[in-house]
């Protein structure tokens, strides 16, 4: 019987309704607590146990998969105890609640703690001294950080994002007209299956330099020497800093073009063929069809892909660290964060850089979500 029905039940009396309500309230509180304690006990076992690895693996599977199933079953059973009105109100939280709890614990709390650490000096809250916003002042006045901001904003975003989006859109348009559409798209998308570290190793061999009197095994230097030039270390060549960052941007564009191409191709296939054929019949050439019909029609997808790549570009780390280690004027925000936090052991300053990076990403994420909602509403 539902809670509101129990309270109003005249046969059992008002006292019986209150008692029933209290019992159900206890159940609502006790069962989730017991469930979470069981899940926490499994976590402690996995963290501290000296049991054989096969047993730990088995417990991890049972605890991870089975624990989530039990958690859902318990909450769903609790909601089923209520009336239809309250069931409709509470049941969405059964599905969304665990995800919100996980995001809160693993994302919101760490952000708050990171900000708290950023208010202390290099030794952190436990042993360090409170310095307030001094670390944030340093972030915007330090020469290396200014260089990192310059690289992220004026080189990676202004060059890398248009390059990736442009190539993805052009390739998607041309591939859709090719007889070998599947093969060509698979080849362009293939780099997405490669890790950023792996891609950096591949391109390191393309950029590699050998002494002048030695055979050049790097593709670019082999071409340069074949044309009568002198071999050079492309991504770390200090004479062309900061433009050596563009050699790193090319790597990321090579990796992400497939991602942009797939989304653009799906959007282009959604344009009715009748509209395109009508434009061609009216005398529009292919450039006019592309810029006046295709691009405006998939504008929402273009914005979504662009903002997604901007977010990714702001967080770029792997390629820069593997190729140059942030040297020769190639530092970005993430490499500075890693260097200060894990090499220099400056907890406060590194945390301040992490918070600044988060703040830089949030507006782009909000804009992306708004565009997505507008597109869904349309």
Residue 355: name the closest of 115, 146, 120 by CA.
Answer: 115
- CA 134 to mean position of chain CA atoms: 29
pLDDT of residue 363: 87
Tokens for 215, please give them: 């055979």
Provide the mean pLDDT of the chain: 83
Tokens for 351, please give them: 């945390």
CA distance 151 to 157: 8
Residue 320: name the closest of 145, 141, 156 by CA.
Answer: 156
CA distance 301 to 26: 49
- Domain boundaries along the sequence of the chain: 3-117, 139-377
The lowest-confidence range among 8-12, 71-75, 138-142, 247-251 is 8-12
Check whether 67 has a pLDDT greater than 50: yes
Check whether 14 has a pLDDT greater than 60: no
pLDDT of residue 3: 44
SS3 of 290, please? helix
Domain 139-377, CATH: 1.10.3720.10
The structure's pTM equals 0.76
């Amino acid at each position: 019987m539902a809670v509101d029905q129990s309270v109003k039940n005249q046969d059992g009396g008002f006292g019986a309704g209150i008692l029933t309500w209290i019992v159900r309230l206890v159940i609502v509180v006790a069962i989730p607590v017991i469930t979470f304690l069981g899940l926490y006990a499994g976590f402690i076992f996995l963290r501290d146990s000296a049991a054989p690895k096969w047993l730990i693996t088995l417990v991890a599977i049972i605890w991870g998969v089975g624990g989530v199933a039990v958690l859902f079953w318990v909450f769903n059973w609790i909601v089923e105890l209520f009336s239809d009105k309250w069931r409709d109100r509470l049941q969405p939280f059964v599905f969304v609640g665990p995800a919100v709890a996980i995001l809160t614990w693993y994302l919101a709390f760490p952000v708050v703690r990171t900000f708290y650490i950023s208010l202390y000096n290099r030794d952190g809250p436990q042993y360090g001294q409170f310095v307030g916003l001094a670390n944030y002042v340093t972030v915007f006045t330090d020469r290396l950080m200014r260089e990192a901001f310059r690289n992220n904003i004026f080189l990676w975003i202004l060059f890398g994002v248009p390059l990736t989006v442009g190539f993805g859109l052009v390739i998607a348009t041309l591939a859709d007209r090719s007889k070998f559409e599947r093969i060509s798209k698979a080849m362009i998308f293939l780099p997405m299956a490669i890790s950023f570290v792996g891609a950096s190793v591949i391109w390191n061999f393309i950029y590699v330099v050998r002494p002048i009197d030695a055979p050049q095994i790097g593709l670019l230097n082999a071409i340069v020497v074949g044309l009568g030039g002198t071999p050079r270390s492309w991504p770390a060549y200090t004479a062309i800093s900061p433009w050596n960052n563009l050699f790193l941007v090319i790597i990321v564009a090579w990796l992400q073009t497939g991602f942009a191409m797939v989304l653009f191709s799906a959007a282009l296939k959604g344009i009715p063929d009748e509209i395109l054929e009508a434009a061609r019949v009216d005398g529009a050439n292919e450039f006019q069809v592309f810029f006046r019909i295709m691009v405006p029609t998939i504008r929402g997808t273009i914005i979504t892909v662009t903002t997604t790549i901007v977010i990714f570009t702001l967080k770029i780390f792997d390629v820069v660290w593997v190729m140059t280690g942030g040297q020769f004027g190639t530092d970005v925000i993430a490499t500075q964060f890693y260097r200060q936090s894990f090499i220099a052991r400056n907890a406060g300053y590194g945390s301040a850089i992490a918070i600044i990076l988060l703040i830089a990403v949030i507006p782009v994420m909000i804009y992306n979500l708004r565009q997505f909602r507008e597109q869904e509403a349309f």
